[in-house]
Amino acid sequence: MTTNDVAERVFNFSAGPAVMPLSVLQQVQRDLLSLPGCGASIMEISHRSKQFDAIHLDAQQRLRALLSIPDNYKILFLQGGSRLQFSMVPMNLLRGTGLTADYILTGSWGSNALKEAVKEGQTRKLWDGKATNYDRLPAEGELQVNPGAAYVHITSNETIEGVQFVTEPDTGDVPLVCDSSSDFLCRPVPVSRYGMIYACAQKNAGPSGLTVVIIREDLLERSRDELPGYLNYRVHAENDSMWNTPCTIGIYVFGLITRWLQEEIGGLAKMKQLNEEKAKLLYEVLDASPGFYQGHARPDCRSLMNVTFRLPNPDLEKAFLSEASKRRLDGLKGHRSVGGIRASIYNAMPMEGVTGLRDFMVEFRDRNAGK
């Protein structure tokens, strides 16, 4: 590693794969040819070696500590991203139950999850925010949970729309299943209120190729033997994620990130506070720029992770992106399905990146407002 590499780095506001902690990248780099005491790269060692066993166990224990995961929940490290979970959730938890799965749609990813679920069994839109273009959460009294549902599915943070649940909806005894791909580990979460939480790693938790699943043990009983082996949660749980070769470098980097959260950040409560401070800097600019920066999400459900907004016209958006890039503020283009601007400020985005963007936004607005 040279100082130059660090100096070259931009502020990366990409929605995922996304920015990682510099100290984590530096450790990956330092040990890439030979893990200490191992004589081989993390990409070369067997997933059944004692060295990898230790890495795997450490990652699990740190995650369990960070989220205070109760003992009756299993941690699985899988592949295939959230997209495969969109199918695995209903294949395991709905098929054969004779029940209906309820989906709460607060954005594009929840809708994609439902599209896969309908192939696997009976589903219902418990709530759909489409009428206002996914800018809000269900209001009090709007959710009529079916107490006999197989599960209720939510997407805790919608990256495209920038809408985030503030707290869990109350689903009573019905298992709450949460796609937490884009806000995993951004704050403490009461795991015991969930039946299952899943997340692809490439936003807050590692490189793409790794998917983390936290599942309550009693739900594993729903997985039937007829399921394809790789798609069966119970098979993975019984084999501690080693039924097949997992994404070993993903688990390794995930472990380093959980250590960074514990030892450098100081835990998830502190992480949440930092995320709130960062998000506030940008939302304050939106609020102070009516008619120029138009935020998408309503203020009471604004995402801590993805700040989405539009400028008065596409030309200004283009100029905004181009000038930002020259200031080393990269990856700000909104999702291709909705356009506009999206600043993804995940855990690892440093405060300097956010203040740099904030300053640019103010300056750009002052220079272009009214044009």
Hey, which residues between 98 and 137 contact its own copies (CB under 8 A)?
A: 115-116, 119-120
Give per-residue burial for 151-168: e unless 16+ CB within 10 Å, then b: bbbbbbbbbbbbbbbeee
Identify whether 179 is a catalytic site residue.
yes
249 binds its own copies (CB under 8 A): yes
Identify whether 203 is a catalytic site residue.
yes
What are the DSSP E strand ranges found in 79-144? 100-105, 122-128
83 binds its own copies (CB under 8 A): yes
Exactly one of 102, 135, 179, 183 is catalytic; name it: 179
Q: Taking the complex as a whole, how short is the minimal distance between the CB of residue 215 and its own copies, in angstroms?
A: 18
To 5 degrees, how large is the angle CA 168–CA 171–CA 176?
70
Helix (H, G, I), strand (E, B) or coil at 14: coil
Q: Taking the complex as a whole, how short is the minimal distance between the CB of residue 153 and its own copies, in angstroms?
A: 15
Q: Taking the complex as a whole, how short is the minimal distance between the CB of residue 260 and its own copies, in angstroms?
A: 14
CB nearer to its own copies: pick between 246 and 340? 246
Helix (H, G, I), strand (E, B) or coil at 212: strand
User: Binder to its own copies among 53, 58, 64, 80 (CB under 8 A)?
Assistant: 80
Region of residue 320 (left: phi > 0; alpha: psi -120 to 50; beta: else): alpha
Q: Taking the complex as a whole, how short is the minimal distance between the CB of residue 300 and its own copies, in angstroms?
A: 29
What is the C-alpha to C-alpha distance for residues 257 and 24, in angstroms, rounded to an integer?
Answer: 7
For tokens 């291709």, name the residue: 336
Identify whether 243 is a catalytic site residue.
no
88: closest CA among 253, 186, 193, 215? 215
94 binds its own copies (CB under 8 A): no
User: Binder to its own copies among 23, 61, 79, 262 (CB under 8 A)?
Assistant: 79
Q: Taking the complex as a whole, how short is the minimal distance between the CB of residue 159 and its own copies, in angstroms?
A: 11
| Candidates 73-81, 128-136, 182-190, 278-286; binding stretch for its own copies (CB under 8 A) | 73-81
Applying CB under 8 A, the site for its own copies has a residue count of 71
User: Binder to its own copies among 58, 128, 168, 330 (CB under 8 A)?
Assistant: 330
| Contacts with its own copies, 196-235, as mask; x by CB under 8 A | ----x-x---xxxxx---------------xxxxxx----
Structure token pair of residue 31: 């040990």
Exactly one of 74, 135, 203, 260 is catalytic; name it: 203
327 binds its own copies (CB under 8 A): no
Site for its own copies in 10-69 (CB under 8 A): 10, 12, 14-20, 22, 25-26, 28-29, 32-34, 39-41, 43-49
CB nearer to its own copies: pick between 29 and 355? 29
- Number of residues written out for the chain: 371
- Tell me, what DSSP letter sits at residue 261? I
Q: Taking the complex as a whole, how short is the minimal distance between the CB of residue 15 and its own copies, in angstroms?
A: 7
Give per-residue burial for 22-54: e unless 16+ CB within 10 Å, then b: eebbebbeeeeeebeebeeebeebebeeebbee
Structure token pair of residue 82: 């959230």
CB nearer to its own copies: pick between 46 and 192? 46
CB nearer to its own copies: pick between 286 and 349? 349
DSSP per-residue codes, 144-162: ---TT-SEEEEESEETTTT
Site for its own copies in 127-186 (CB under 8 A): none
326 binds its own copies (CB under 8 A): no
Q: Which amino acid is at 169?
A: P
Give the max Cα distance, the chain: 64
Which residues are marked as active site?
A: 109, 179, 203
